[in-house]
Amino acid sequence: MRTLSFLTLALAPLSLVTAQGTDAVKASARAVIGTLTSPAFHGRGYVENGDGLAAEWIAQQYTRIGLKPVKSDFYEPFQFNVNSFPDSLHVAIDGVRMVPGIDFIVDPASGKASGRYTLVHLEPDDLFDPERRAMTMGVLTGQAACLHFPKTTNADTLHKYAEIERDLMHYCPVVRPSHGKLTWGASQEAMPFPLIEIANAALTDSSVAIDLRIQNKLIGRHEARNVLGHVKGKGKKWIVIGAHYDHLGHMGPDAMFPGANDNASGVAMLLSLAEHFAKNKPKMNILFVAFAGEEAGLAGSDWFIVDRPIDLGKIRLMLNLDIMGTGDEGITVVNATARQAEYDALVKINDDKKYVPQVKSRGPACNSDHCPFVKRGVPAIFVYTMGGITAYHDVLDKAETLPLTEFSDLQALFRDFISTLK
Ligand SMILES: [Zn+2]
């Protein structure tokens, strides 16, 4: 957030140039995000080769910008197992059809189920009391378990719920109302039966039956690629700028998860910084890494640490960019408490230049691609934006509604920050 003062007004010609520059940064980010979230990329997941197409598009951008490959080409291939839902999903409660992604999601580890199932309504005691549990399990065969657990935000209780759900998925389809908004994910494994999370009031304790046609496809050794390109600076040290380009793909043909904020916005920031440093030679070498497989459990960054395309000991800092699309409430720096000097530098630049409303410090968290680096002792931080829209891991995380409130200011903050690293 750049505040206008009498000084910037006095320097009108200069601020005009700056305004044009920042508009151009935001406009090209819009173009990148619009492209990566378009149906042609299928949500950059595991149906219709969505993630593979995104990798190729990003490599084309590297070529256009003038980045150089580290290996023989821009790709760093690897494999992982992942569950997918290429076929259409049918869910109806007492004959009322539910819309995929809006009225329901299937748990990412869901298996298959087909036919009409009678709903067996269960309270926590039916499953947590050992004697009643034995009786409950006896009546579930051939039916669907409908869980009526009290709403909670307590992490331990939610964990207990998740464990019992996972256990039930060995025996029968499981249905439950959502604990909050519908938030999808990815899974490297598949259970025998599905878990269906229902969003609205369609599911009550007097619901009788559910019709299901759910078909999963567990992809063994899915081929994925990180996309690596670099700009040479001086010396032997590296700055690694990372952003994952994969997202959740499709939950059946009708529900696409576009992943505009998560993380087409981060890829847009990575490409924007790459364009800048390709034209303005940096002090240190910079490696740009568009990671694959993040949503399936940090598979791409895990592989980078194993494969070591560059000497990990020479990495001055890994900067992970994920969720760059808002910023109304500033940014959070994960692992700031372990990288105090880098955090302080970011705060100082921001205090001087008034780029974003707040640079918030957060401790270590294994919630994105910086984590495998941190575990290996490589200095790393993760920056995400705060405020604005709340769409996340759902069908509403769209390019059209992503505000990019602080995108240009954030790009300038990163540029300044990278230039100060020694
Ligand atoms: Zn993400």
Tell me the pLDDT band of 6, cut-offs 50, 70 and 90. Answer: very low
User: What is the CA(184)–ligand 1 centre distance, in A?
Assistant: 12
**Phi, psi for 297 (deg, rounded to 5):** 110, 45
User: What is the CA(82)–ligand 1 centre distance, in A?
Assistant: 17
- Looking at 3.50.30.30, 3.90.1210.10, 3.40.47.10, 3.20.20.70, the CATH number of the domain 88-214 comes to 3.50.30.30
Spatial separation of the C-alpha atoms in residues 348 and 421, rounded to whole Å? 13
User: What is the CA(368)–ligand 1 centre distance, in A?
Assistant: 7
Residue 404 carries which side chain, given as an amino acid letter?
L
- Taking phi first (over 0 means left), then psi (-120 to 50 degrees means alpha), and beta for anything else, what does residue 44 get? left
Q: What is the CA radius of gyration of the chain?
A: 23
User: What is the CA(135)–ligand 1 centre distance, in A?
Assistant: 42
Nearest to 333 by CA among 371, 359, 358, 354: 359
Ion ligand 1 contact residues with beta carbon within 5 A:
262-263, 322
Mean pLDDT, all residues of the chain: 93
| Span 144-169, average pLDDT | 93
Is 98's pLDDT higher than 90?
Answer: yes
Is 166's pLDDT higher than 90?
Answer: yes
| Domain layout of the chain by residue ranges | 6-83+219-420, 88-214
Spatial separation of the C-alpha atoms in residues 173 and 165, rounded to whole Å? 10
User: What is the CA(259)–ligand 1 centre distance, in A?
Assistant: 8
Tell me the pLDDT band of 152, cut-offs 50, 70 and 90. Answer: confident
| Span 125-148, average pLDDT | 93
User: Percent of the chain having pLDDT more than 70?
Assistant: 95
pTM exceeds cut of 0.75: yes
| Residues 287/177, Cβ–Cβ less than 8 Å | no
| 382-399: pLDDT as tens digits | 999 999 998 999 999 999
Name the token pair of 319.
């900067």
User: What is the CA(302)–ligand 1 centre distance, in A?
Assistant: 15
The domain made up of 6-83+219-420 is a member of CATH 3.30.230.10: no
Largest CA distance in the chain: 80
User: What is the CA(25)–ligand 1 centre distance, in A?
Assistant: 21
User: What is the CA(298)–ligand 1 centre distance, in A?
Assistant: 10
* 68-75, long-range: CB < 8 A, 24+ apart: 68/229, 68/230, 68/231, 68/232, 69/228, 69/229, 69/230, 70/228, 70/229, 70/230, 70/287, 70/309, 70/310, 71/228, 71/309, 74/227, 74/228, 74/229, 75/225, 75/226, 75/227, 75/228
User: What is the CA(322)–ligand 1 centre distance, in A?
Assistant: 5
User: What is the CA(382)–ligand 1 centre distance, in A?
Assistant: 11
User: What is the CA(95)–ligand 1 centre distance, in A?
Assistant: 36
User: What is the CA(16)–ligand 1 centre distance, in A?
Assistant: 34
Tell me the pLDDT band of 289, cut-offs 50, 70 and 90. Answer: very high
Is 14's pLDDT higher than 50?
Answer: no
**Phi, psi for 349 (deg, rounded to 5):** -60, -45
Within 13 Å, how many C-alpha atoms sit on residue 44's CB side? 32
User: What is the CA(121)–ligand 1 centre distance, in A?
Assistant: 35
Tokens 């039930």 found at: 168
| Span 400-409, average pLDDT | 96
pLDDT the model gives residue 9: 38
pLDDT the model gives residue 20: 54
pLDDT the model gives residue 4: 38
Residue partners of 189: CB distance under 8 A and separation at least 6:
81, 83, 109, 218
| Residues 174/193, Cβ–Cβ less than 8 Å | yes
Tell me the pLDDT band of 17, cut-offs 50, 70 and 90. Answer: very low
User: What is the CA(393)–ligand 1 centre distance, in A?
Assistant: 9
Same fold, 6-83+219-420 and 88-214: no
User: What is the CA(248)–ligand 1 centre distance, in A?
Assistant: 10
Residue 138 carries which side chain, given as an amino acid letter?
G
| Span 266-279, average pLDDT | 98
User: What is the CA(369)–ligand 1 centre distance, in A?
Assistant: 9
| 189-211: pLDDT as tens digits | 999 999 999 997 889 989 999 99
